[in-house]
Amino acid sequence: NEDREIKSKTCEEFNECEGRVRTATSFGLRRRKRSKKGFSTLERKRTTSPPPSSSSSLSPVGLQVFSSPPQQCPRSALSLSPPPPRMSTLTALLLLLLSSCFLNVARSDLASDRVALVALRSAIGGRLLRWNLTDPPCTWAGVICDQRREQVVELHFPGMGLSGSLPAGTIANLTQLQTISFRFNSLSGPIPPDLASLSQLRNLYLQGNSFSGELPAFLFALQNLVRLNLASNDLSGVIPPAFGNLTRLKTLFLEDNRFSGSIPDLNLTLDQFNVSSNQLTGTIPSKLSSMAQSAFAGNSLCGPPLKPCNATGTGTGSGNKLSGGAIAGIVIGSVIGLFLILLVLIILCRRKSRGRSEKPKSLESGPAKWTEAGIPQTREARSLGESKATSAVAISGDRSGNKTLVFFGKGTSASAAAFDLEDLLRASAEVLGKGTFGTTYKATLETGTTVAVKRLKDVSIGEAEFRERMREIGAVEHENLVGLRAYYYNKDERLLVYDYLPTGSLSALLHGNSVVGRTPLNWDTRCGIALGAARGIAHLHSGGTATSHGNIKSSNVLLTNSYEAQVSDFGLAHIAALTAPPNRVDGYRAPELTNSHKVSQKADVYSFGVLLLELLTGKAPTHSLLNEEGVDLPRWVQSVVKEEWTAEVFDVELLRYQDVEEDMVQLLQLAMHCTAQYPDKRPPMAQVVNKIEEICRSSMLQEQEEHSGSGDGSYSHQTSV
């Protein structure tokens, strides 16, 4: 009876404690799966060791119970065999000895993990893995331990410049590893034989290295593997049918290697699969026919989803195989032919349009100018097909002779009627980009003033309504909003004049061509941008429930010289909503907006959430299909987080800021909150601002101190490398 009592007390304590564990992990982000080894130890322990004396001093073993459903606890307690006779002192002593022995084993587990990590570091990392060896291994960058901090369960060393091959006897000793991410390093040699010992391994990311040789047999004994990414290595040989043994496998990426032979008929239900850019031949197994064509591109494969196979097992076409030279000849011939046809067409078109528009000769050679026809005569403008569309348009004043720009605001470069329409027309212009509402140009006036001019297309609302809308937009002044400085209206042409922000957009900064010397954004800068953009949007929303932006995305977050964010294009979605639907990028659009004319504050919050995810992951939602995960950004992040490998979602650039990891996770949680599927579940923008302030406060304060301490007034966004 005493024994039964003790056991049910233990269960109560465990359940009480479970509540706490749940709260601590309620976001589901930091939770780690418990190891099987832990469970089996528990089973042994539960029948042998005395219960912990209080819930606050629960041993780690006690916590293991919570991985079973709560109701199982009393059941298992009651289902125990009849109570044993009273414990003798000797038995109690023996139990004490056993439990202390167990704790020592746990301690020695971490000690041996530590030894393995140090060996790994000296083999492939050197100083690149900046660990303070006097700290416990669970605090080392990229090393994640189980909840009891007794064993290493995950290693994340993406893009850290690691090189060399993994010697035997290093990671083999980290027996509880569930996730290994060594992606985008320079590791070489065969697939590490040490992996054979890691029976708990679920996620293995070795893509973007120089591993070579054939796929080893031990890989197919890792029964727990769910995700395997070996893309972009130098692996060769065949794809073994033994992959079929990995019954839990959901993701298999083998693209960009030198695999040959055919794809085996795997009896697996894969969510993600890619073998493109190898030397594979033969028919695609029917089970893989639902995958995208791109998953097989760059091989000599046939069958759905590619073209049907002929008798020889290659793509349809003539039975006789064409030689490589013949194929190359045909391709080159077709390209040249096509090019010539295009050239003739272009010459004909240009002659025709020249005749029609009687373009002044000086424009051909002179500096790019806005002409009286309102055409910025730059090569870019012409290539965008603008000349033709606008050649009949003249900003020569409407019938009433109105040739004036209407100005708003005060005291900035573009305001205070510092120039008139004539000045604007004489300015040299450069296309910045073509968006939903028209084309935006950078116009440099002869005085040296630079402004951004948006040339609206397809606005069919009446003049009075247009002018009223402009008055409303022009009245909005906020440091995080790109203010409308002036506009021009006549029945054929509408120009909006804004301050020009030289640093460009967040989109260009995050995803711009990786120009040499491009500065990656550090954590503080990203925090500041998130906060600035949130404040700008919150200011718009403070104008009443009917006010919303309607087109929030990273190309509409512009940056000042000191990397402060200003949100642009506000108010335009409402104008477009009255005419044509805004061409909002799907990746930012809230799921409830099936009718793209609709805009709402809650939809803005969703778009802003996607923007936060973009800042944190470095991935562009518009390119979601190109993400290796092949899903939209919120869904992808959710799936990664659900699988408990949170660190994987963050931009590689951010992974070096280990001291703000908690802040990053909190911002990620906020982004997920903003992108909740149901609008009611999303927080209002004012709340979002408060939360970002709270999350970013410490790092921003620190940065402000450094800033004021530097005394030169400059703001550095350089990443400390």
Ligand X SMILES: Nc1ncnc2c1ncn2[C@@H]1O[C@H](COP(=O)(O)OP(=O)(O)OP(=O)(O)O)[C@@H](O)[C@H]1O
Point out which residues bind ligand X (CB under 6 A): 432-433, 435-437, 440, 452, 454, 482, 498-501, 504-505, 508, 551, 555-556, 558, 568-569
Q: How far is the CB of 583 from ligand X (least distance, A)?
A: 6
What's the min distance (Å) between Cβ of 452 and ligand X?
Answer: 3
Closest of 318, 291, 293, 290 to residue 306, by C-alpha: 293
Which residue's CB is nearer to ligand X, number 391 or number 440?
440
Q: What angle do CA 511, 227, 143 make, to 5 degrees?
A: 75
What is the smallest separation between the CB atom of 485 and ligand X, expressed in angstroms? 10
Flag whether 454 is marked binding.
Answer: yes
- Closest approach of ligand X to the CB of residue 503, in Å: 8
Complex with ligand X: residue 184 or 488, whichever CB lies closer: 488
559 strand-pairing partners: 565
Q: How far is the CB of 643 from ligand X (least distance, A)?
A: 34
Burial (0-12, 13-18, 19+ Cβ within 10 Å), 210: middle
Count of alpha carbons within 13 Å of 2, Cβ hemisphere only? Answer: 5
How remote is the C-alpha of 10 from its chain's centroid? 44
* Ramachandran quadrant class, 503 (left: phi over 0; alpha: psi -120 to 50; beta: rest): alpha
Is 255 or 499 the residue whose CB approaches ligand X more closely? 499
**Identity of the residue, 7 or 454, whose beta carbon is nearer to ligand X in the bound complex:** 454
Give the relative orientation of helices 685-710 and 523-541 as an angle to the nearest 10 degrees: 140
Output 569 or 663, the one with its CB closest to ligand X.
Answer: 569
Residue with smaller CB distance to ligand X, 438 or 528 = 438
The DSSP element (H or E) to which 633 belongs, if any, is helix 633-642
Q: Given the complex with ligand X, which of 175 and 568 has the nearer CB atom?
A: 568
* Min dist. Cβ of residue 542 to ligand X (A): 22
Q: Please give the span between the terminal C-alpha atoms of the chain, in angstroms, as a whole number.
A: 64
Q: Which residue is nearest to ligand X (CB)?
A: 435
Write down the least CB distance from residue 420 to ligand X, Å: 20
Residue among 221 and 508 whose Cβ is closer to ligand X: 508
Shortest distance, CB of residue 439 to ligand X, whole angstroms? 6
Sole residue written with tokens 């500065």: 519
d(CA 43, CA 546): 60
3-class DSSP state for residue 90? helix
Torsion of CA 536, 540, 545, 551, to 10 degrees: -80
Q: How far is the CB of 537 from ligand X (least distance, A)?
A: 14
Tokens of 489: 């209206």
To ligand X, the closest distance from the beta carbon of 372 in angstroms equals: 23
Burial class (CB in 10 A: 0-12, 13-18, 19+), 244: middle
Contacts of 612 (CB under 8 A, 6+ apart): 530, 667, 668, 670, 671, 674
Is the CB of 453 or the CB of 685 nearer to ligand X? 453
Contact between residue 192 and residue 74 where contact means Cβ atoms under 8 Å apart: no
Distance CA 204, CA 227 (A): 6
Determine the 3-state secondary structure of 674 from DSSP.
helix
Of the pair 297, 406, the CB lying nearest ligand X is at 406
DSSP per-residue string spanning 97-116: HHHHHHHHHHHHHHHHHHHH
**Least Cβ distance, residue 525 to ligand X (angstroms):** 17
Shortest Å, Cβ 450 to ligand X: 9
CA 365 to chain centre: 44
Please give the structure tokens belonging to residue 635.
């869904």
Determine the distance from the C-alpha atom of residue 718 to the mean position of all C-alpha atoms in its chain, rounded to a whole number. 21
CB of 386 to ligand X, least distance (A): 13
Q: Which helix (H) or strand (E) holds 300?
A: strand 300-302
DSSP string, 306-375: SPPB-TTSSBSS-SSPPPHHHHHHHHHHHHHHHHHHHHHHHHHHHHHHHHHH---THHHHS---B-TT--
What is the smallest separation between the CB atom of 611 and ligand X, expressed in angstroms? 13
Q: Residue 303 or 536: which CB sits closer to ligand X?
A: 536
Alpha-carbon distances of 269 from 246, 285, 454, rounded to whole Å = 11, 12, 50
Q: Which is nearer to ligand X, 235 or 453 (CB)?
A: 453
Pick 46 or 584: Cβ nearer ligand X: 584
Burial (CB count <10 Å: 0-12, 13-18, 19+), residue 452:
buried
Angle at 108 between CA 106 and CA 109, to 5 degrees: 65
Q: Distance (Å, rounded) from C-alpha 159 to C-alpha 614?
A: 19
Note whether 216 and 190 are within 8 A (CB). yes
For ligand X, the closer of residues 145 and 590 by Cβ is 590
| CA angle centred on 458, ends 453 and 459, rounded to 5° | 80
Distance CA 719, CA 656 (A): 10
Binding residues: 454
Which residue numbers belong to the known binding site for ATP? 454
